[in-house]
């Protein structure tokens, strides 16, 4: 996926709230939209090199740009939590997710119970289908990608929905899209959200499949490039 507009280099000043930060761009202090409710504490440090996309002028808009990338320890990290679904859809269409190959139709945003799951894959072998929930990952510690970096009751709810579908005989999967290139493996971040880590273990025990993929990130584009190992010792009982 190419960035829709050229990204502009800036400096991070501070985060004002979950969805707004201040950046310095061309000597000016400007508000930037942050499309990510995670804490991102290791990334959002004063003076960090960031890249922003100018926002189109709209009535009532309170931010001048959108915060897209952060440089961390020599690695570009995408911080837009809206992108993983688009990246997964692109990779599925291109046949780059071998674990989920063989489905002829990909339907996004499908309602299940009181929730919406990200994708329903259908038209597989013998009419098989697969429910897929995608999560955005930005945190990597010593080569290990971790999710979440803050408690997520919504994430737990989605896992419970997947377990219900699995017990009804459906194929179900969680896909963790790591928006950076330096991850070698994945494990749930139990110290940040023990409830999610426990829910993921229970989901795996019930037959929910767990996959994690890292991305190549540049100033021109971002794309899923391949899988990383899911640490079984942390996701299985």
Q: Are residues 143 and 48 in the same domain?
A: no
Do 21 and 42 lie in one domain? The reply is yes
Structural domain including 36 reads 8-78
pTM above 0.85, yes or no: yes
DSSP line for the chain: -B-SS--EEEEEEEEEETTEEEEEETTEEEEEE----S--TTT--TT-EEEEEEPPP-TT---SEEEEEEEETTEEEE--TTHHHHHHHHHHHTT--GGG-S-SEEEEEEEETTEEEEEEEES-GGG--EEEEEEEE-EEETTEEEE-SS--HHHHHHHHHHHHHHHTT-EEEEEEEESSS---EEEE-TTT-HHHHHHHHHHHHHT-EEEEEEEEE-SSBEEEEEEEEE-HHHH--
Contacts of 76 (CB under 8 A, 6+ apart): 69, 70, 180, 181, 217, 218, 219
- Distance (Å, whole) CA 137 – CA 143: 13
In a domain, 1, yes or no: no
- Whether 142 and 206 map to the same domain: the answer is yes
Whole-number pLDDT of residue 115 = 80
Does the structure show a pLDDT above 50 at 237?
A: no
The pLDDT score that the predictor gives to residue 179 is 98
Give the whole-angstrom CA distance, residue 157 versus residue 200: 11
Q: Model confidence over 144-158: pLDDT tens digits?
A: 999 999 999 999 999
In a shared domain, residues 194 and 127: yes
Query: Within this chain, do residues 47 and 127 fall inside the same structural domain, yes or no?
Result: no
The chain-wide mean pLDDT, for the chain, equals: 93
**What is the model's pLDDT at position 113?**
76
* Cα separation, 212 vs 21, whole angstroms: 29
Q: Sorting pLDDT into bands at 50, 70 and 90, what band is 79?
A: very high
* 150 occurs within a structural domain: yes
pLDDT at 61: 73
Say whether both 165 and 48 belong to one domain: no
Report if residue 128 sits inside a domain: yes
Task: Judge if 107 and 124 occupy the same domain.
Answer: yes
- When divided into structural domains, the chain yields a total of 2
Co-location of 114 and 29 in the same domain = no
């Amino acid at each position: 996926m190419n960035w829709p507009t050229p990204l502009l280099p800036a400096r991070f000043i501070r985060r004002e709230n979950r969805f707004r930060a201040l950046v310095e761009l061309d000597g000016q202090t400007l508000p930037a939209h942050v499309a990510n409710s995670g804490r991102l504490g290791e990334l959002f440090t004063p003076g960090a090199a960031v890249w922003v996309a100018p926002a189109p002028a709209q009535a009532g808009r309170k931010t001048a740009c959108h915060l897209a990338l952060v440089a961390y320890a020599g690695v570009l990290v995408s911080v837009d939590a809206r992108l993983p679904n688009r990246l997964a859809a692109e990779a599925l269409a291109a046949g780059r997710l071998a674990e989920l190959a063989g489905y002829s139709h990909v339907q996004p945003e499908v309602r299940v119970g009181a929730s919406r799951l990200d994708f329903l894959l259908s038209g597989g072998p013998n009419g098989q289908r697969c429910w897929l929930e995608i999560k955005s990952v930005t945190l990597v510690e010593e080569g290990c990608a971790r999710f979440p970096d803050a408690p997520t009751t919504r994430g737990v709810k989605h896992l419970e929905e997947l377990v219900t579908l699995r017990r009804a005989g459906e194929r179900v999967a969680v896909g963790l899209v790591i928006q950076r290139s330096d991850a070698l493996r994945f494990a749930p971040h139990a110290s940040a959200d023990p409830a999610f880590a426990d829910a993921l273990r229970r989901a795996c025990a019930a037959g929910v499949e767990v996959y994690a993929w890292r991305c190549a990130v540049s100033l021109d584009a971002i794309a899923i490039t391949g899988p990383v190992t899911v640490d079984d010792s942390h996701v299985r009982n």
